[in-house]
Amino acid sequence: MPNLETALKEAMSIEGAMGVALVDYSSGMALGSLGDSAELDLNVAAAGNTDVVRAKMRTMEMLNLHDNEIEDILITLSNQYHLIRPLTTSTGRGLFLYLALNRGRANLAMARHKLRSIENGIEV
């Protein structure tokens, strides 16, 4: 099982990756992040996307979607994709992976596939 640093490096190897973070959505704090894009402040993104995850979790609760889990949340911007993937492993509950991609360079399907693989390997 890869450690956090290895998992973040793997995520940054995804074509078009601009930045990645593992975030605790109860606090909004990034437990680890990697990326050097001047366009993206990963700490601000981590905190802001925590609100997105919390809102979706509340909505699913109100809709009684108890037998469903979020695989990922996609935010599409004109020049970027932002992927949010809540961890579903027993040790990863309450955490999510956040990946920002350059839309012109990324293959969204491959990025989702690779992020799922990375999630399955993270041991927190």
Label residue 2 by pLDDT band (50, 70, 90).
Answer: low
Q: How far apart are CA 48 and CA 15, in angstroms?
A: 24
Label residue 93 by pLDDT band (50, 70, 90).
Answer: confident
Beta bridge pairs of residue 32: 22
User: Kind and range of the H or E element at 98?
Assistant: strand 95-102
| Contact between residue 53 and residue 73 where contact means Cβ atoms under 8 Å apart | yes
Task: CATH number of the domain at 67, please.
Answer: 3.30.450.30
- Using CB atoms within 10 Å of the CB of residue 64, give its burial: 0 to 12 exposed, 13 to 18 middle, 19+ buried: exposed
Q: How far apart are CA 13 and CA 46, in angstroms?
A: 20
Task: Say whether 90 sits in a helix, a strand or coil.
Answer: coil
Picking from 102, 115, 113, 105, the residue whose alpha carbon sits closest to that of residue 39 is: 102
Picking from 17, 40, 15, the residue whose alpha carbon sits closest to that of residue 30 is: 40
Q: What pLDDT score does 91 carry? A: 73
State the residue range of the domain holding 73.
Answer: 4-121
Q: What's the pTM?
A: 0.92
Give pLDDT tens digits for 27-65.
999 999 999 777 889 999 999 999 999 999 999 999 999
Count of structural domains, the chain: 1
Q: What pLDDT score does 1 carry? A: 42
Label residue 97 by pLDDT band (50, 70, 90).
Answer: very high
* Chain mean pLDDT for the chain: 91
